[in-house]
Structure 1
Amino acid sequence: MFIAIGIFFVFLLLGMPVAFSIGLSGFSFFMIRDLPMTVLVQKSISTSQSFTMLAIPLFILAGNLMNSCGITKRLMRFANACTGHMYGNIGQVSCLMSTLMGGVSGSAVADASMECRILGPEMTRLGYDRGWSAAINGLSGLIVATIPPSMGLIIYGTVGEVSIGRLFMAGWVPGILMCVLLMLAVTWSARRFGYKPEHDHPAPLSEILKALLDSIWAILFPVLLIVLIRFGIMSPIESGSFACAYALLVGTVFYHELTWESLLQTLRDSVKDITVITIILAFSGVFGYGIVFDNITVTIANALLGITSNSAILLLLVVVFLLICGMFMETTVIALILTPILLPVMRSIGVNEVVFGMIMMTTVTFGVMTPPVGTALYAVSDIMECPIEETFKKGWPFYLAIVGVILFMIFFPQAVLFLPNLVYGA
């Protein structure tokens, strides 16, 4: 299997699409081991036809529908009303909007790109440095990886057989903490660069309440999602169908902004997104079979335990490893390939599976904003028309804020488990 992993990285470095890199390396494993090709086909089909994985395309469609029905711009107005009196207020809007968008988008890269397109021109008009703007829009998108319904958490929970409901509840504390730390970092750096507030005083309460009521259907969505899953009214998979129906209802009945033309375009965009994810899912099943066949999990577990038996130090080493992986691979791929490898190791040293899920998905999503192959880093820099070096350089306070959240989860796991234990029991 190590040969197949080497082939995967070679293809990746040569610029081959991730899905085909996984597929060809998995195929090479079957060729080297002289295994029946019928198993290869069966594994590809069974992974892509998993009932639990059905939540992913449903939430992708729901997120695109919500973006098309006017929810995004209403959330932006509400965020701006709350933060207009703060230094670097459009950067503050980015942080607050990502927190509110967590229940709508589910994708860090999509959220970062969307915010750059919406907020970027206004940031440039106000004289914000392009690299600074790209950095905060990109790194605030990481909040989406923790606030439910996160695509990464669904994949981790499915592959690792961890309660998705508990993972969704666990996401609130680190997600809100990330928002707070990023907003503090924005305030500090905005003062340093002289990005003054748009308004001298906070907006009147009546204005904030009006903006809140205008965006209430978007804010209610993640709350309804948690309540429906917790009380057994629907499973996480069924909640994906509910999300699509909810988006259609809001777009057609309440906001009247979802037209036939925008609906058709949304469906086209969703088909493209879902196709890419499905191909990766299918080929990852072949790769995962090789990991189990060669007992890679035991080998890696013994190697890690040979370094140290201290759970905190071991977890820090795994975080560094995941961060490096995140620099070169997509979040979905890492979750599919590394969850079955690392989760048994973490369980063996007493690390809670829900806490590790939050740490793992936050860390690998952090990788989308780190060089040399961070997908979100390239996306936001391209949209803001600035070099990635400038984005990385100007965004160092925001990078430190994300690191702070990861360290918080490592050393204070009970804080992450507070809400899951409160709702579901210890």
Structure 2
Amino acid sequence: MIASGIAFLALLVLRVPIAFVILGASVIYFALNPMMASTVAQRMASSLESFPLLAVPFFIVAGAAMARGGIAQRLYDFADGLVGHWHGGLAQVAVMNSLFLGAMSGSSNADAAIDARTIAPIMRQRGYSNGFASVVSAASGAIAPIMPPSIGLIVYGLLTDTSIGRLFIGGIIPAFIITCALLLTVRIMAKRRGYKPERAQRLPARQIAARGQSALWALAMPVLLIVGLRGGWFTPTELGAMAALYAFVIGIFVYRGFRLSETYDLLRESALTTANVLFIVASAAVFSLVLALEQVPQSLLTSLLSLSDNKYVILMILTVMLLVLGTMLEGLALMVILVPILNEVTRTLGIDPVHFGIVLVFNTTIGSITPPVGTVLYTVCSITKCSIEEFSRESLPFLASLIGVLLLLTYVPALVTFLPNLLFR
């Protein structure tokens, strides 16, 4: 185990992609145990033999089709109609736009990249600093992993055998709370810096309604998700297939945002993203076996319970630990590694798995916008050409806001569990 730990740290320092860091450390562990050498391939293959895991590529295809199909522009126009007259109008639009896009992409990276490519350049032209525009793009991406169809929630549900439908519904109220917190943060920062609204007055209700009508097919997708799950019409996997088909048809035949000839490029882009996600899942499955063989979950449980048997104290310890680890490891990989360990802890303490799932996914998402290994941070900065130093300075108020929401969700479980308990009686 010591050799694996040294290899893990060495590969991490060398900035090897996280999936290869995890897999490399695992391979070294089993190489020192020749009787178990074949376990690596077997474990990687078996971890992907899951029907519910098919939901991941389906929702990735749906998000790619939504982004290409002219839907993003209509959602932007609708968001602008709603909040463009507020202080820091363009930044407010970016946050509200992420709420809408998050209900389609399920990925903070995808959502932040769209804002960084579309809204951030306009913000810079209107006098916003590049750092502020970049941070708004990244921070607003934190909404997507909490909204259905979150890829992180799907993976968590598979790892813990928790209802994905309940997790999806449980993320709705937290997503709106995160949105409100970011809108308030933008307002405070914009007033201090003199960032003006997009217009002096709110648009007439008729114009807002017209923009909403134009985006109606896009806004109908989250309704499809919720009604389909609540009505029992689809499993999460079937719902993913329906969402992909819906986005494809709307993008081509209704909004005409892309042509049939572009289907190959769309599917290729989706396949690459899917391969990245599933390779992390497969690699982390091997590493989780190493942890199980070394009885790390039992040791962690014993250590935590020796500190306190109060679940709220343990939740605070876990929150701090995850925030720190999230600055060093990619969120999905961190989740796949730790969930099998933490599941034992939370079950022993009687913590609701839906509540903990939302808190865990949001926690790792916050880590993705912080240095030194924040994936969303590097995605946005590579697009906007913002320096890490400037991004880090500008991100402090937004990180404070997001951590405040994280603590609120951690200690008021009803904000997460109310809707699932109401709809899944």
What range is the shorter-chain TM-score in? Answer: over 0.9
Amino acid at match of 1:194: G
Amino acid at match of 1:396: L
Q: Does 1:415 align with 2:409?
A: no
Give, in angstroms, the shift of residue 38 of structure 1. 3.1
Give, in angstroms, the shift of residue 291 of structure 1. 2.1
Q: Which residue of 2 aligns with 1:304?
A: 304
Could you tell me which runs of 5 or more consecutive residues in structure 2 were left unpaired when the two chains were aligned: none
Q: Which residue of 2 aligns with 1:153?
A: 153
| Matched position secondary structure for 1:43 | helix
CA distance in 2, matches of 1:374, 1:36: 34
Structure 1 residues 342 and 176, CA, compared in 2 at 3 Å: closer, same or farther?
Answer: same
Q: Does 1:143 align with 2:143?
A: yes
Q: Does 1:396 align with 2:367?
A: no
Q: Which residue of 2 aligns with 1:92?
A: 92
Note if contact 2:47-2:285 (Cα within 8 Å) is conserved in structure 1: yes
Give, in angstroms, the shift of residue 344 of structure 1. 1.3
Q: Which residue of 1 aligns with 2:56?
A: 56
Amino acid at match of 1:94: A
Moved over 6 A (4+): none
Amino acid at match of 2:342: L
Structure 1 residues 186 and 138, CA, compared in 2 at 3 Å: closer, same or farther?
Answer: same
Give, in angstroms, the shift of residue 181 of structure 1. 0.8
Note if contact 2:8-2:24 (Cα within 8 Å) is conserved in structure 1: yes
TM (norm. structure 2) is 0.97
Matched pairs, number: 425
| Matched position secondary structure for 1:198 | coil
CA distance in 1, matches of 2:6, 2:363: 23
CA distance in 1, matches of 2:205, 2:294: 62
| Matched position secondary structure for 2:104 | coil
| Matched position secondary structure for 2:127 | coil
CA distance in 2, matches of 1:68, 1:146: 22
Q: Which residue of 1 aligns with 2:66?
A: 66
Q: 1:23-172 to 2 correspondence within 5 Å?
A: 23-172=23-172
Note if contact 1:105-1:144 (Cα within 8 Å) is conserved in structure 2: yes
CA distance in 1, matches of 2:147, 2:192: 30
Give, in angstroms, the shift of residue 6 of structure 1. 4.1
Note if contact 1:94-1:119 (Cα within 8 Å) is conserved in structure 2: yes
Q: Does 1:282 align with 2:295?
A: no
Note if contact 1:68-1:263 (Cα within 8 Å) is conserved in structure 2: no
Q: 1:181-200 to 2 correspondence within 5 Å?
A: 181-200=181-200
TM (norm. structure 1) is 0.97
Could you tell me which runs of 5 or more consecutive residues in structure 1 were left unpaired when the two chains were aligned: none
CA distance in 1, matches of 2:52, 2:3: 31
Give, in angstroms, the shift of residue 2 of structure 1. 5.7
CA distance in 2, matches of 1:88, 1:105: 25
CA distance in 2, matches of 1:114, 1:381: 13
Note if contact 1:68-1:262 (Cα within 8 Å) is conserved in structure 2: no
CA distance in 2, matches of 1:243, 1:387: 37
CA distance in 2, matches of 1:383, 1:44: 33
Note if contact 1:85-1:198 (Cα within 8 Å) is conserved in structure 2: yes
| Matched position secondary structure for 1:201 | coil
Amino acid at match of 2:128: Y
Give, in angstroms, the shift of residue 316 of structure 1. 1.0
Note if contact 2:252-2:260 (Cα within 8 Å) is conserved in structure 1: no
Structure 1 residues 2 and 57, CA, compared in 2 at 3 Å: closer, same or farther?
Answer: farther
Q: 1:377-388 to 2 correspondence within 5 Å?
A: 377-388=377-388
CA distance in 2, matches of 1:219, 1:81: 15
User: C-alpha root-mean-square deviation of aligned residues, in Å?
Assistant: 1.4
Deviations 1:243-289 (A, max 9, x none): 11101110122112220343222112112111222222222221122
* Higher deviation after alignment, 384-393 or 338-347: 384-393
CA distance in 2, matches of 1:385, 1:6: 34
Give, in angstroms, the shift of residue 85 of structure 1. 0.7
CA distance in 2, matches of 1:59, 1:213: 24
Give, in angstroms, the shift of residue 366 of structure 1. 0.5
Give, in angstroms, the shift of residue 9 of structure 1. 2.8
Between the aligned residues of both structures, percent identity stands at 35
Note if contact 1:65-1:263 (Cα within 8 Å) is conserved in structure 2: no
CA distance in 1, matches of 2:376, 2:73: 21
Q: Which residue of 1 aligns with 2:314?
A: 314
Give, in angstroms, the shift of residue 87 of structure 1. 0.6
CA distance in 1, matches of 2:82, 2:265: 32
